[in-house]
Structure formats: C-alpha cells, structure tokens
Structure 1
Amino acid sequence: MAVLRSIALFVLAAVAEIGGAWLIWQGWREQRGVLWIGAGILALGAYGFVATFQPDAHFGRILAAYGGVFVAGSLAWGMLVDGFRPDRWDLIGAFICLAGVAVIMYAPRT
C-alpha cells in the first residue's frame, strides 16, 4: 500500500510540475496571457507541497527519485498534450530513469 501511495504522489507531483511549467510556457511563449502564467505558478507551488507527503523522510532521496519521474512524465505530457512522438531512444531513456526511481525509492533497506 505504501508503494502505491508513493507512486500516486509521484504522478500527482509530475502533473503539477510539468503542467505548471507548460502553463507558464503557454502564457509567455504562446502569448496566452497572465492568467495562464498565474495558474502555472500556482501549480508549481502545489508541486512543492506534494513531495512532502511521500512516506520517505529524506528530501534528497525524494527529489532524486522524482527526477526520473519527471523525465518519463515530460515525455508522456508531450505525447498527450502536444502531439510529441518519442522515438525508441526516448522510451529507453525513460525506462532507465524509472528503473532508477524504483531502486532509489523501493529497494529494501536495513
């Protein structure tokens, strides 16, 4: 149960961070306006809080593992929202990152 909760928190954090960055990108680069930028800032702030709910108490471990989730999540966001089509090297890299997440977060420790 703790692993499923942790994975759900990583997914929520990815949506908040990647979504927030995307909203700011849209507001500034695509000239959609200050409301998009403001929503992005709020989403990025929410991302900062989501990580605090991870069951592991070590900030460095959580953020290191989240880095791998961010890589895979960014590719997924690009596919779902922007029509990006990753090549096999993108997918292999994302798999390697997620394998690293699994080792960092869920390896048995004494």
Structure 2
Amino acid sequence: MLIIKSLFIFVLAGLCEIGGGYLVWLWLRESKPLWMGILGFIILVLYGVVATWQPASFGRVYAAYGGVFIIMAVIWGWKIDKIKPDSYDIIGTIICLIGAYIIFFAPRK
C-alpha cells in the first residue's frame, strides 16, 4: 500500500510541477494571458506542498522524483505537445524509472 500511495503522490506532484511550469511557459513564451502565469505560479507552490506528503527524507524524495519527473515530462510532451517519444526517450525513461525505484524503495537498515 505504501508504494501505491507514494506513486500517487509522485504523480500528483508531477502534474503540479509540469502543469504549473507549462502555464508559466505559455504565458512567457507564447504570450498567453497573465492569469495563466499567475495560476502556474500557484500550482508550482502546490507542488512544493504535495512533495512533503512523501514519507521519506527530502533528499530521497527529490532524487526519486527526478526520475518520475523525466517520465512524466516525456508523456506530457507526447500527449500535450504531440511529440512522439523515440527509442532513446523510451530507453532513458526506463533507466530513470529503475533508478527512482531503487533510490526510494530500496530496503534500508
């Protein structure tokens, strides 16, 4: 159950970080309305809060989240920006997922 809860928190945090960052990106790079930028900043703050819900220490949470973020960013690019991942994207995300799992869920004394 701990793994499912942690994965849910990672996905929620990832959606906040990528979604918030994307709104800021749209505002600054694509001249979208200011409210999009403000909403993006608010969502980015929520990302910082959601990440604290993980049971592990700060360093491990953020190290493992880096791998999850890469995977989610590739999926975001594929589904939102319509950039299909190539074989290097897929290989890289698998490596990141394995690394994130080891960092976060490895049994420790």
Q: Matched residues in 2 for 1:87 and 1:24: separation? A: 26
Alignment of 1:40-51 (within 5 A): 40-51=40-51
Structure 2-normalised TM-score?
A: 0.97
Alignment of 1:12-91 (within 5 A): 12-56=12-56, 58-91=57-90
SS, match of residue 32 in structure 2: coil
Q: Matched residues in 2 for 1:88 and 1:43: separation? A: 31
* Aligned-pair CA distance for 1:43: 0.8
* Aligned-pair CA distance for 1:28: 1.2
Question: Runs of 4+ in structure 1 displaced over 3 angstroms?
Answer: none
* Aligned-pair CA distance for 1:60: 0.5
SS, match of residue 89 in structure 2: helix
Question: 1:75 corresponds to which letter in structure 2?
Answer: V
Which stretches in structure 2 are left out of the alignment for 5+ residues? Answer: none
* Aligned-pair CA distance for 1:67: 0.4
Structure 1-normalised TM-score?
A: 0.96
Q: Matched residues in 2 for 1:51 and 1:87: separation? A: 30
* Aligned-pair CA distance for 1:90: 0.6
Deviations 1:24-80 (A, max 9, x none): 011111111110100110110000001100011x10010000000111110011111
Percentage of identical aligned residues: 45
Which stretches in structure 1 are left out of the alignment for 5+ residues? Answer: none
The alignment of Structure 1 onto Structure 2 pairs a total of residues equal to 109
